[in-house]
Amino acid sequence: MNKSVLQAQAISKSFADGEKTVQVLNNLDFSVAKGESVAIVGASGSGKSTLLQLLAGLDQTDVGKVFVAGKSWQELSSSDAARWRNKHLGFVFQFHHLLAEFDALENVALPAIMAGHRPDHAKQLALQLLSKVGLEDRTSHRPAALSGGERQRVAIARALVNEPDCVLMDEPTGNLDQANADQVLAQLQSIQQTFNTAFVVVTHDTKLAARQDRQWQLVAGQLVPMVNL
């Protein structure tokens, strides 16, 4: 298997709940290779979103380390972590989180500009990606003028503009009807084949989970391989 682009080593995370301590993740190991797609499913409150936050370096583990592209979040300052995150990770959420005042092209180009690309080059990259997700005729539309499926495809293009090693997705089809969800699923599959980018997908959608290379269930703070999905 290819070298891991994302790796969690024996990570644990707990939270205080009044006088009790709730153990959400317990000595969890996890890795994703370049170009691999992994689905993580689990009941509400099982810790899926917490795991994504830790993988993204947006929260700190109690113990253990998370490595992205060979560096652990623990060894980076806040400013260095932000730059490393923008370069090596992409994000797609249940709600698109597009900037309302910017059109589709500007929304996709923004992370590239933040990474140091000239604005004209960033927009060229954005246009290429919007074409790949079938939105070349919607580049000048702001989010309010786009359908739910179109907004999510803009979000996918934005996540890929810096050619990240891995894209983290939190319920990427959870806010879409079946027709739009199917279209987004098809786009994700096509994009992964084109870019050879690793995907980590947190989802309740069994159809989406089944399309990934591996499926895991988060139970009692541990990831358990799923079979017969």
pLDDT(2) > 60: no
3-state secondary structure of 219: strand
**Contact between residue 62 and residue 13 where contact means Cβ atoms under 8 Å apart:** yes
Check residue 1 and give its pLDDT: 42
Check residue 11 and give its pLDDT: 92
Cα separation of 108 and 125, whole Å? Answer: 9
Over residues 145-158, the mean pLDDT reads 87
Over residues 104-129, the mean pLDDT reads 91
Helix ranges, the chain (H): 48-55, 78-88, 104-114, 119-132, 148-160, 178-195, 206-210
pLDDT(105) > 60: yes
pLDDT(205) > 50: yes
Residue 3 carries which DSSP code? P
Residue-wise over 82-112: b if at least 16 C-beta within 10 A, else e? eebbbbbbbbbbbebebeeeebbbbbbbbbb
Check residue 106 and give its pLDDT: 94
pLDDT(96) > 80: no
At residue 12, what are phi and psi to the nearest 5 degrees? -135, 150
Check residue 229 and give its pLDDT: 60
Over residues 142-169, the mean pLDDT reads 89
Q: What is the overall mean pLDDT for the chain?
A: 87
Q: What is the pTM of this model?
A: 0.85
**Max Cα separation, the chain?**
56
Please, which pLDDT band fits residue 65 given cuts at 50, 70 and 90?
A: very high
Check residue 228 and give its pLDDT: 64
**Contact between residue 226 and residue 215 where contact means Cβ atoms under 8 Å apart:** yes
Indicate the range of 4-8, 36-40, 64-68, 192-196 predicted with least confidence.
192-196
Check residue 86 and give its pLDDT: 86
On the 0-12 / 13-18 / 19+ scale of CB atoms within 10 A, 182 is: middle
Token pair 């300052």 is at which residue? Answer: 77
How is domain 4-225 classified at the CATH fold level? Rossmann fold (3.40.50)
Report percent pLDDT > 70 for the chain: 98
Instruction: Parse the chain into domains and list their residue ranges.
Output: 4-225
**Contact between residue 130 and residue 139 where contact means Cβ atoms under 8 Å apart:** yes
Check residue 191 and give its pLDDT: 77
Going by C-alpha positions, the residue among 24, 13, 8, 6 that lies closest to residue 91 is: 6
Going by C-alpha positions, the residue among 108, 131, 129 that lies closest to residue 197 is: 129
